Amino acid sequence: MNELVKWLTNLNSVVMPMRYLWVFLAYMMLNKAYKKFTSEYKFVKNPKIGYIFGAWCFAFTAFACILGMVPKIEYAADPKAWWFQLISNIITPIVLILLGMILPAIARRDKNKEVPVSETIPQA
């Protein structure tokens, strides 16, 4: 049980920083389209330098997350467990991203299917 908790904690340390990839990607896209949006505050005045800064943060975070996917146990001690952890560490973020894409689509579909209240009231 203790090993499972350690592994899930390590998995969490991989998955949670991945959310910042979206933040850096959005920052890069905002810097790319700086003429469309106006703001009183700008972190970096020059949009090209801002884009490079966002790209560096994105690349560093992605690199750290990918390196974090490597299991913390010795391969020689238990190769099956090592491969299981590696595959799970790779598949889990993919599944979470897919859920993040599927759930809004399901909500949109359900919203379009909603029946107006006047049609649900039985008429005598």
How far is 2 from 115, CA to CA, in rounded Å?
Answer: 50
**Lookup: tokens for 16:** 């949670």
How far is 85 from 89, CA to CA, in rounded Å?
Answer: 6
Q: Pick from 72, 96, 83, 87: which is nearest to 22 by CA? A: 96
Taking CA atoms, 22 is separated from 7, 52, 117, in Å, by: 25, 16, 38
**pLDDT exceeds cutoff 90 at 31:** no
The count of residues in the chain is 124
Residue-wise pLDDT for 46-104, tens only, equals 889 989 999 999 999 999 988 888 888 889 988 998 999 899 889 988 898 888 889 88
pTM, 2 dp: 0.68
User: Do 73 and 81 contact (CB within 8 A), yes or no?
Assistant: yes
